[in-house]
Amino acid sequence: MLEFFTGIISGTVSGTGMGGGTILILILSVFMGIDQHIAQATNLVFFVPTSITAITTTIKDKLINWKIGIPVAISGIFGAILGAKISVKMDVNHLKRYFGIFLIFITIYEIYSLVKQYKKDKNTNNKIKK
């Protein structure tokens, strides 16, 4: 049952383009006790069908910037090959540590973005009231 809810949560976040795989890896490794290498490899299997679904939906809604998307996708393929080769050779404890550091940076960035948006909205609302 936990696998089902994990898939729903991760798929929903993936569909929004915010990195459902990160949540999937976190749940698999921390809450389900799966080895980090296996959690990351499982994420890759999860990623393909959820990405195809999200891409199909966003193409229908005409939300993709192809001039940016294609070069990023092509270079991302090379980065994925490099990352997979590095990950397979890396000690699992180092991999966990780097993943944790990555999550900390994402968290800091998201909090910063929220504070920045809050200040912007507050300034806009103050100007409207005047």
Burial of 9 by CB count in 10 Å (0-12 exposed, 13-18 middle, 19+ buried)? middle
Q: Return phi, psi of residue 34, to 5°.
A: -85, 140
| Domain housing 48 | 2-129
Q: How many domains are there within the chain?
A: 1
Q: Check residue 10 and give its pLDDT.
A: 84
pTM of the model: 0.63
> What does the pLDDT read at residue 130?
62
Whether residue 6 contacts residue 36, with contact meaning beta carbons closer than 8 Å, is answered with no
DSSP states along 95-116: HHHHHHHHHHHHHHHHHHHHHH
Closest CA to 47 of 72, 67, 71, 25: 25
Q: What is the pLDDT of residues 35-90, one digit of tens each?
A: 988 998 898 888 888 888 888 998 999 999 999 999 999 999 999 899 889 988 88
Contacts made by residues 82-90, CB under 8 angstroms, sequence distance 24+: 87/37, 87/40, 88/37
Q: What is the mean pLDDT of the chain?
A: 87
Residues 42 and 34: beta-carbon distance below 8 Å:
yes
Residue 128's contacts (CB-CB under 8 Å, 6 or more residues apart) are: none
